[in-house]
Amino acid sequence: MAVARLEGMAISKSTRQVSTHASTRKGGARAVRVPDSAALVRFAETLKLRSLARATQDEYLRFVRKLAAHHGGDPSGLDEAQVRAHLLHLKEARHYSPSSMRTAVAAMRAFFGRHLGLDWKLFDLVRSPSAKKLPVVLTREEVARFFSVLREPRFKTVFRLIYACGLRIGEAARLEVRDLREPGRLHLRETKGNKERYVPLPEAMRDELRAWWKTHRHPKWIFPGVGRGWKDQSINSGPARTAALAKLAHAVEPMGVGSIGHCLRLARAEARLPQGMVVHTLRHSYATHLLDAGVNIRLISAYLGHSSLETTMIYLHLTAVNESHAREAVARLLDPNG
């Protein structure tokens, strides 16, 4: 795929990978992007000076470039009514999701408000709330069934890591050798919000990670990218597998999150698990199972890297143990002899 084509695509904030979601895909995008105007060049510099996460910078620039392409010129000359019409176009004609709309508004606010200094009321008026849905959570038996159908070691190891440590998909894919240096815990760098955190690392999981790394010994990544053609090779055993693993030592990027998601969909079907299961479901299950085991919710919040305890509170609705205790307490409210 050409570099020019990639520049027009959405970049996920959490994984730093190209997004293929329908709400962010560029329908009918030009193969070659028009050079940035002077205002956009300066905007890019402003974003760097604000020390925003790289993925956030890419997203903001993408949305402002989309605005410039829509109007065929320098976006700095647009007025509030034109930007309002553009946001309405994204919502009504392009059917952007609430999450994508919030990012679009944030990008416009950063460009016209912070960068150009325009005091527009528009950005305070736009609201794109997401529906509050409880996430899918697997039982321990379902998690075990999922692991049992995984045959490729790199996928089995990365999925077990995500569940054992409650990681986001990008955090697992980008894990580095240096992140395993401290016994008993995993060091996660440049996570969501550009933050770092430590999470407990079970010794058994540490052994699995070491065993997988020893098959390729990449100097940086635990899960190096396999590159093109991996699916076309017969790598179950023998010389072909040895040659394929040897290539991993020279990979130039970590494992792609797309391949992880693709593997999950195949394994989910084989294990006959809920249709709503995604990679993030393992993280939800991790938190819920820790709550079931009596781990303090504040500790769980820290392990997950949540900025607010309120975000973690959703798991209180999902734990079977809490539900069972609540039902027992409700049953005792009315004395049978009363």
CA–CA separation, 134 and 285 (whole Å): 12
Residue 15's nearest CA partner among 219, 283, 211 is 283
Residue by residue, pLDDT tens for the chain (338 residues) are 333 333 344 444 444 444 444 434 444 444 456 688 899 999 999 999 988 888 889 999 999 999 999 888 899 999 999 999 999 999 999 999 888 999 999 999 999 999 999 999 998 888 877 677 888 999 999 999 999 999 999 999 999 999 999 999 999 999 999 999 999 999 998 888 778 999 999 999 999 999 999 999 999 999 999 765 555 444 455 666 677 777 888 888 999 999 999 999 999 999 999 999 999 999 999 999 999 888 999 999 999 999 888 888 888 877 776 666 666 766 767 756 54
Q: Which of 84, 164, 174, 80 is nearest to 120 (CA)?
A: 80
Query: How would DSSP label each residue in 119-165?
Result: --SHHHH---PPP--PPP---HHHHHHHHHT--SHHHHHHHHHHHHH
| Whether residue 147 is found in the same domain as residue 107 | no
CA distance 221 to 179: 10
> How much is the pTM?
0.69
In the prediction, which pLDDT does 316 show?
A: 81
Phi, psi angle pair for 254, to nearest 5°: -75, 175
Residue 211 lies in a domain: no
Token pair belonging to 281: 């479901």
Domain end, chosen from 92, 125, 158, is at 125
Domain of residue 65, CATH code: 1.10.150.130
Query: Residue 30: which domain range?
Result: 3-125
- The 10 Å Cβ neighbour count of residue 305 is 19
CA 161 – CA 204 distance, rounded (Å): 10
State the CATH number of the domain containing residue 317: 1.10.443.10
Give the C-alpha separation, 300 to 319, whole Å: 13
149 and 274 in one domain? yes
